[in-house]
């Protein structure tokens, strides 16, 4: 689909330039065109979220990939929300287990060489 759009833009720019509708574009302008298609809604949001969780846990995905260029700001906002919940004595849904109880510990990654 992208190739069709590239071809169409190229042909249209030649046509529009000949008719004086646009200024002459540099010969390399077509290489600088980037198409951005709208993001489609997930068919099954639960399966998508489970896949994202597994990708991040298995280190084959990243927060930047999933959340975008402003991933640090988004995670900082989440941290602030969690702290607000704690300060006000409310359980945050992210810490709720499937059984309904609240997680009390934090998962830690330990390195055997540190011991």
Residue spans per domain, the chain: 2-32, 62-103
Would you say 2 and 8 are in contact if contact means Cβ atoms under 8 Å apart? no
Q: Environment class of residue 89 by beta-carbon count within 10 Å: exposed (0-12), middle (13-18) or buried (19+)? A: exposed
Closest C-alpha among 55, 27, 3 to residue 13:
27
> Tens digit of pLDDT for each residue in 21-80?
887 777 676 666 666 666 677 688 889 889 999 999 999 999 988 888 889 999 999 999
pTM score of the predicted model: 0.47
- For the cut 50, the answer to whether the pLDDT of residue 109 exceeds it is no
Q: Which of 64-68, 84-88, 106-110 has the lowest mean pLDDT?
A: 106-110
Q: What is the mean pLDDT of residues 92-105?
A: 72
- 95's CB contacts (< 8 A; 6+ apart) are 102, 103
Return the pLDDT at 17. Answer: 82
Return the pLDDT at 23. Answer: 79
């Amino acid at each position: 689909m992208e190739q069709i759009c590239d071809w169409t833009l190229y042909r249209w720019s030649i046509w529009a330039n000949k008719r004086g509708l646009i200024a002459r574009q540099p010969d390399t302008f077509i290489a600088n065109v980037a198409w951005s298609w709208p993001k489609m809604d997930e068919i099954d949001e639960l399966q998508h979220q489970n896949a994202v969780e597994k990708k991040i846990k298995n280190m084959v995905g990243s927060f930047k990939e999933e959340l975008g260029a402003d991933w640090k700001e988004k995670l900082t906002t989440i941290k602030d929300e969690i702290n607000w919940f704690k300060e006000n004595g409310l359980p945050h849904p992210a810490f709720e287990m499937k059984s309904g109880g609240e997680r009390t510990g934090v998962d830690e990654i330990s390195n055997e060489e540190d011991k």
